[in-house]
């Protein structure tokens, strides 16, 4: 029988809410991103600090996806804008306007592809 875990580490983050639409985590849980209306906040959960606040395009964020390694963040908005940021540098590395809004996202385990399900029924796969 496995041993029961008796100690836990708590990483405290002050709660806030302004209508967040989405949140995403790196596979190890060390990086988290959450949308607050049209902006996106990226948090280092190990050190409990905000890494970046990415300003939106004045349309609410509809979907977010961190790559499993936590290095890249895809942000999609109601305006059909897709932006991929480097979490290491805070800069946009790719952007485009999609054919319709996106509410479903995924990233492959190797952190080399993002996929986006659009409301017009199409699926977009992007190399990172």
The string of pLDDT tens digits covering residues 50-62 is: 999 998 888 889 9
**Residues 23-127, CATH architecture:** 7 Propeller (2.130)
DSSP class of 112: S
- In angstroms, rounded to a whole number, what is the distance separating the alpha carbons of residues 23 and 80? 18
**What is the sign of the dihedral through the CA atoms of 50, 54, 60 and 63?**
negative
Residue, of 9 and 62, whose pLDDT is higher: 62
- Predicted structure pTM score: 0.80
The pLDDT tens digits of the residues spanning 70-89 come to 999 999 998 999 999 999 99
Show me where the domains of the chain are located: 23-127
């Amino acid at each position: 029988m496995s041993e029961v875990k008796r100690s836990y580490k708590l990483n405290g983050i002050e709660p806030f809410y302004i209508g967040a639409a989405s949140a995403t985590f790196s596979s190890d849980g060390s990086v988290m991103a959450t949308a607050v209306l049209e902006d996106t906040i990226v948090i280092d959960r190990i050190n409990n600090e905000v890494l970046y606040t990415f300003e939106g395009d004045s349309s609410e964020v509809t979907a977010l996806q961190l790559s499993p390694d936590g290095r890249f963040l895809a942000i999609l908005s109601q305006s059909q804008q897709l932006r991929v940021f480097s979490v290491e540098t805070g800069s946009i590395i790719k952007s485009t306007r999609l054919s319709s809004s996106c509410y479903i996202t995924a990233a492959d385990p190797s952190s080399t592809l993002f996929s986006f399900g659009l409301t017009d029924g199409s699926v977009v796969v992007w190399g990172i």
